[in-house]
């Protein structure tokens, strides 16, 4: 895809000059220090899709890194390509999705990615990784583990054809659709249901709703030993003897309810009034204020349950 050449040239020029480089797609998963970023910012806006019929039952579609993610999902649903419909409404770009193995409502991009093409900034050449070589884990990949090395150029997805979704793997979504977990539903119905659920949690941007002024879910769901999970908390086996529990449950039961912080004089940050995982800007907030709230929540959960929450957004020039 031609735009990839311009991306590589911009990053290579900055690397040659010894400049720090910040790669930005949609910017929805970043928290940047109030002092800003001292270096070169490369905004990834490359566009393009190339579709190859894989067989009678599936297509392989290669998508440029700068394509808006939700526009691609909408296109896939309209074309009758299954496997990404539950990832509707997620902001950002296609190229960012393999970095943290984006997932929601029972789907992850790792389930449909067949290859990721990158510019290797260390070897100074293109490389293509198969899904297995991407080392996908929960909100993790080889690209997230080594963020200064790989510039994602495009992502290839293998998507089955069909009018029905992939098996619905998330109980809340299944209830909304009126199906059992593991059953399928019409693609368009799944997309509509997911968008409705996300709006109800303030996870679809609305300029008039400060609950949507956030970097999405701020903490990942902890993966821990089963005996660490508090009584009553959700617990989902992950293999190798560990389980995933709910960060939102831990936050709320540690005393940080929806809207926590709003009652403070002059409050400019708070937990969302719809969803305890979102730390929101109520207007004019600084990154320092947001991070102070994040530390308060993290430390409160650790004191109550002995589990340390980990941030999901990438922190630029700052830390928890």
Which of 2 and 91 is assigned the larger pLDDT?
A: 91
Which pLDDT belongs to residue 55?
Answer: 84
**Does this chain's domain 49-197 share its CATH topology with 210-316?**
no
At 205 the three-state DSSP class reads: coil
According to the model, what pLDDT value does residue 276 have? Answer: 96
pLDDT digits (tens, 9 = 90+) for 129-145: 999 999 999 999 999 99
Amino acid 203: pLDDT: 93
Residue 2 has pLDDT above 90, yes or no: no
Tell me whether strands 314-316 and 30-32 are parallel, antiparallel or unpaired: parallel
Q: Given this model, what pLDDT does residue 53 score?
A: 85
pTM given for the model: 0.91
| CATH architecture assigned to 210-316 | Alpha-Beta Complex (3.90)
Tens digit of pLDDT for each residue in 18-28? Answer: 999 999 999 99
Q: Are 244 and 238 in contact (CB under 8 A)?
A: yes
Measured between alpha carbons, how far is 150 from 119 in angstroms, rounded to an integer?
6
Tokens of residue 214, six digits: 């956030």
Domain regions of the chain by residue span = 3-43, 49-197, 210-316
Residues in the chain: 320
Find out whether 21 and 15 touch, Cβ atoms under 8 Å.
yes
The pLDDT, as a whole number, for residue 263 is 95
Residue 244 has pLDDT above 60, yes or no: yes
pLDDT higher than threshold 70 for residue 1: no
Domain 49-197 -> CATH class = alpha beta
Contacts of 195 (CB under 8 A, 6+ apart): 88, 89, 204
List residues with catalytic annotation.
139, 217, 312
What is the edge-to-edge ordering of all strands in the sheet holding 223-224?
223-224, 242-244, 236-239
Q: How far is CA 165 from CA 6, 13, 58, 139, 181, in A?
A: 36, 44, 13, 23, 12
- Both tokens of residue 143? 């690209």
What is the average pLDDT value for the chain, to the nearest integer? 95
> For the chain, what percent of residues have pLDDT higher than 90?
94
């Amino acid at each position: 895809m031609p735009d990839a050449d311009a991306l590589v040239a911009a990053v290579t020029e900055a690397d040659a000059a010894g400049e720090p480089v910040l790669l930005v797609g949609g910017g929805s998963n970043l928290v940047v220090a109030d002092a800003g970023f001292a270096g070169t910012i490369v905004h990834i806006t490359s566009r393009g899709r190339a579709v190859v019929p894989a067989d009678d039952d599936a297509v392989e579609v290669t998508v440029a890194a700068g394509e808006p993610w939700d526009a691609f999902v909408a296109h896939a649903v309209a074309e009758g390509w299954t496997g990404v419909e539950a990832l509707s409404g997620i902001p950002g770009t296609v190229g960012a999705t393999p970095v943290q193995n984006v997932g929601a409502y029972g789907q992850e991009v790792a389930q449909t990615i067949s290859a990721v093409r990158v510019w290797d900034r260390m070897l100074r050449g293109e490389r293509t990784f198969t899904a297995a070589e991407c080392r996908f884990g929960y909100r993790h990949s080889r690209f997230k583990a080594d963020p200064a090395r790989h510039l994602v150029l495009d992502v290839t997805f293998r998507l089955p054809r069909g009018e029905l979704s992939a098996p619905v793997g998330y109980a809340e979504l299944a209830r909304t659709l009126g199906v059992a977990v593991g059953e399928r539903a019409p693609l368009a119905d799944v997309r509509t249901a997911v968008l409705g659920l996300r709006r109800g949690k303030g996870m679809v941007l609305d300029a008039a709703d400060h609950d949507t002024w956030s970097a999405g879910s701020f903490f990942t769901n902890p993966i821990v030993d089963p005996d660490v999970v508090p009584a009553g908390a959700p617990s989902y086996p992950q293999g190798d003897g560990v389980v995933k529990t709910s960060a939102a449950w831990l936050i709320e039961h540690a005393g940080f309810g929806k809207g926590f912080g709003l009652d403070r004089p002059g409050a400019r940050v708070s937990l969302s009034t719809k969803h305890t995982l979102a730390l929101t800007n109520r207007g004019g907030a600084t990154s320092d204020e947001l991070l102070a709230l994040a530390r308060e929540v993290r430390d409160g959960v650790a004191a109550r349950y002995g589990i340390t929450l980990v941030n999901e957004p990438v922190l630029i020039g700052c830390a928890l």
